[in-house]
Chains A and B, each alone.
Chain A
Amino acid sequence: MGTIFVIAEHRQGELRDITFEMLFKANTLCKDLSHKLTAVVLGGDEALADEIKKWADTILLFEHERLKNFDGDLYKEVISGLIEEYEPFITLMGHTSWGMDFAPALAIKTGYPLATDCVDIQVEDGRPSVIRQIYSGKIFTKVSFRESKSYLITVRPGSFTPEEIGEQEGEIIKKELPSDLPEPSKEFIGFEEAGAGELDITQADLLVSIGRGVGEAENIEVVRELADLMGGVLSCSRPIVDKNWLPKYHQVGTSGKSVKPKVYLAFGISGAFQHVAGISGAGTVIAVNKDPKAPIFRVADYGVVDDLFNVVDALKEKLK
């Protein structure tokens, strides 16, 4: 009987959502393949491991001072050791900033093939393949691996919705770190809140949000006027902040804020996963985009295929 590994991601004592999303998917795979699910928790403590007991057959827990904060080099060393020891069929990791740091390095160290940013995983005739999105989500692709003993996959956050599964009591096995650990190549200084500011977009009932489609910095005022007329709050996608057109606290998405307005009006936003992950809590999403194939229309409730300025002007006209 084979095993599937899930590498838990946690930060400051809390498991990240991606961990449960991966555990859920791994569970379905394990059922189909009669494999065992092994969760790997580097750092953290028994309380953290307890939280995933019901998802896994086994939890390998490493408690150590050096694992208090994420250390990609240690992750690479320890996980490659575990892969040699347990020979998992598949190892799932998060396609997160930390996953992007250690997973590709792990692939080189172990020699096993890796596919990143996957939104689905299938196994046919004993070989896994994955579904990915390319060209900013406008095209899907099926990717297979060179034949291997073990396969590595990073999973896009938000791709799987964990549902209740049957209760089980996974066994927690405490593991020791190998003694010949590499010297740390980085020193952890601390965490910093990015983009604190006077405005809190997470509290707004109505967000009027702009993306790169707004074109020029001057055009932001045109949309801001609409937001003011509507009594809404202006928010934006990442490129607007990258260009310094609006301060960071306006940004919606994985590296900005998760928002929950009653209505989210998206003007000229394509709908990259890092953006739409931030609006899953929105009541109703209305998207305006010139491109009928823009991925935002796959997640919006209502869509308008038009130049955003036509719609903005018409809305202003009605409100005046």
Chain B
Amino acid sequence: MNVVVCVKRVPMTQEVDLEIDASKKDVSKDMLAYVLNEWDNYAVEEAIQIVEKFGGAVTAVTVGSEDDEEVLRRCLAMGAEKAIRVDPGDLSLDGFVISKILAEVIKGLEYDLVLTGVQADDDNYGIVGSMLAEHLGIARAAVVNHVDIEGDEANIKVELEGGVDEVLKIRFPALLSIQTGINEPRYVSIMGIRKAAKKELQVLPVTDLGLSEDDLSARTVVEEVFLPPETEGAEIIEGDAATVAEEILRIMKEKGVSV
């Protein structure tokens, strides 16, 4: 069972006062710390658990710059056998272009399953997995929170809105976009990452893939980014913790919750 898993490195933006950069098309990222996208972390763990059980190998793929190799090394430390980074140069990337590039790379690999995360934590499109499946011409399922493999098919659960799962059987080859909580991603130590440095990390310039200009031209364009419009929002309760606590209890009482 060979599994390809597609990953992305994303900035951590919680608790950060984000600023719009000079181009007005993104936030300034100089001060941000980066991680493996949360959804992808679960996808990598799922891929590794599958090959631990059924044999085969995991290949991790990303489209990104040299800095993004950090997340590939993490995948290698988690147990992937090989990693591939496609260097897009200064192409402007959207979900379409990324899926096109990934498809071209994955076509040349042997695989039964392709896993992606449901979405990336930065731009939240949730678009690459399903586009990639269509380029590859394989079966797909989105928002998968359970995978149970039997031979060349799997029983899976697709998470729907309202706390309902849809139980399906899917035949391989297939692409699944993986939802958080499907497993418990393993801990990766600095030592583990160092050890994995010996594993193969292949770098491919996008120009080597033979994709046409049209294949590499984005379908959507970010015109501008901006701070959320000032709405009324919450009334901020000021003061020291004791004052705040008193005020919260007063509001609760006013709203009919007596404590």
- Given A98, A298, A310, which contacts B231 in the complex, CB threshold below 8 Å? A298
CB A128 to nearest CB in B, in angstroms, measures 11
Q: Does residue B107 face the partner (Cβ distance < 8 Å to A)?
A: no
CB B254 to nearest CB in A, in angstroms, measures 9
B-side interface size class: 35 or more
Q: Find out whether the CB atom of A186 lies under 8 angstroms from the CB atom of B241.
A: no
- Given A76, A206, A293, A310, which contacts B252 in the complex, CB threshold below 8 Å? A206
Q: Find out whether the CB atom of A95 lies under 8 angstroms from the CB atom of B126.
A: yes
Q: Find out whether the CB atom of B234 lies under 8 angstroms from the CB atom of A283.
A: no
Nearest neighbor of B248 in chain A, beta-carbon distance: A286
Q: Find out whether the CB atom of B252 lies under 8 angstroms from the CB atom of A116.
A: no
Cβ proximity bits B231-259 to A, threshold 8 Å, 1 near / 0 not? 10111110001101110110110011101
Q: Find out whether the CB atom of A304 lies under 8 angstroms from the CB atom of B237.
A: yes
Q: Find out whether the CB atom of B259 lies under 8 angstroms from the CB atom of A319.
A: yes
Residue of A206, A231, A244 most packed against chain B (CB within 10 A):
A206
Q: Find out whether the CB atom of A108 lies under 8 angstroms from the CB atom of B224.
A: no
- Given B96, B157, B227, B259, which contacts A139 in the complex, CB threshold below 8 Å? B227
Q: Find out whether the CB atom of A257 lies under 8 angstroms from the CB atom of B163.
A: yes
Q: Find out whether the CB atom of B164 lies under 8 angstroms from the CB atom of A109.
A: no
Question: When chains A and B are docked, how far (Å) is the Cα of A302 from the Cα of B239?
Answer: 14
Question: When chains A and B are docked, how far (Å) is the Cα of A205 from the Cα of B253?
Answer: 12
Q: Find out whether the CB atom of A303 lies under 8 angstroms from the CB atom of B155.
A: no
Q: Find out whether the CB atom of B228 lies under 8 angstroms from the CB atom of A298.
A: yes
Q: Which residues of A contact B13 (CB under 8 A)?
A: 135-136, 138
How many residue pairs at the A-B interface have CB separations less than 8 Å? Answer: 288
Q: Find out whether the CB atom of B184 lies under 8 angstroms from the CB atom of A244.
A: yes
Q: Which residues of B contact A314 (CB under 8 A)?
A: 241-242, 244-245
Q: Find out whether the CB atom of A134 lies under 8 angstroms from the CB atom of B225.
A: yes
- Given B184, B223, B236, which contacts A143 in the complex, CB threshold below 8 Å? B223
Q: Which residues of A contact B245 (CB under 8 A)?
A: 311, 314-315, 317-318
- Given B142, B169, B180, B259, which contacts A97 in the complex, CB threshold below 8 Å? B142
Q: Which residues of A contact B207 (CB under 8 A)?
A: none
Cβ proximity bits A223-249 to B, threshold 8 Å, 1 near / 0 not? 000000111100000110111100010
Q: Does residue A142 face the partner (Cβ distance < 8 Å to B)?
A: yes
Q: Which residues of A contact B219 (CB under 8 A)?
A: 107, 113-114, 145-146
Interface of A is mostly: mixed
Q: Does residue B51 face the partner (Cβ distance < 8 Å to A)?
A: no
Nearest neighbor of B184 in chain A, beta-carbon distance: A244
Question: When chains A and B are docked, how far (Å) is the Cα of A262 from the Cα of B224?
Answer: 39
Q: Does residue B220 face the partner (Cβ distance < 8 Å to A)?
A: yes
Which listed segment binds B: A35-43, A168-176, A191-199? A191-199
Q: Find out whether the CB atom of A141 lies under 8 angstroms from the CB atom of B130.
A: no
- Given B17, B99, B222, which contacts A142 in the complex, CB threshold below 8 Å? B222
Q: Find out whether the CB atom of A293 lies under 8 angstroms from the CB atom of B17.
A: yes
Q: Does residue A301 face the partner (Cβ distance < 8 Å to B)?
A: yes
Question: When chains A and B are docked, how far (Å) is the Cα of A140 from the Cα of B231?
Answer: 14
Q: Which residues of A contact B168 (CB under 8 A)?
A: 186-189
CB contacts under 8 Å to B, within A106-161, are 107-109, 113-117, 129, 132-146, 157
Q: Find out whether the CB atom of A11 lies under 8 angstroms from the CB atom of B160.
A: yes
Question: When chains A and B are docked, how far (Å) is the Cα of A109 from the Cα of B235?
Answer: 48
Q: Which residues of B contact A205 (CB under 8 A)?
A: 256-257
Question: When chains A and B are docked, how far (Å) is the Cα of A231 from the Cα of B121?
Answer: 36
CB A136 to nearest CB in B, in angstroms, measures 7
CB contacts under 8 Å to B, within A263-320, are 263, 265, 270, 283-287, 290-306, 310-311, 313-315, 317-319
- Given A109, A187, A311, which contacts B248 in the complex, CB threshold below 8 Å? A311
Q: Could you list 23 A-B pairs, sorted by A, with CB under 8 Å? A: A95-B126, A100-B126, A100-B127, A100-B143, A101-B158, A104-B95, A104-B134, A108-B131, A135-B122, A140-B225, A141-B224, A141-B225, A143-B221, A191-B167, A206-B257, A230-B257, A238-B180, A254-B161, A270-B14, A301-B235, A305-B236, A314-B245, A319-B249
Query: Given A100-B118, A193-B163, A262-B257, 8 more contacts at CB 8 Å?
Result: A100-B126, A116-B127, A142-B226, A185-B171, A188-B168, A296-B234, A299-B234, A302-B236
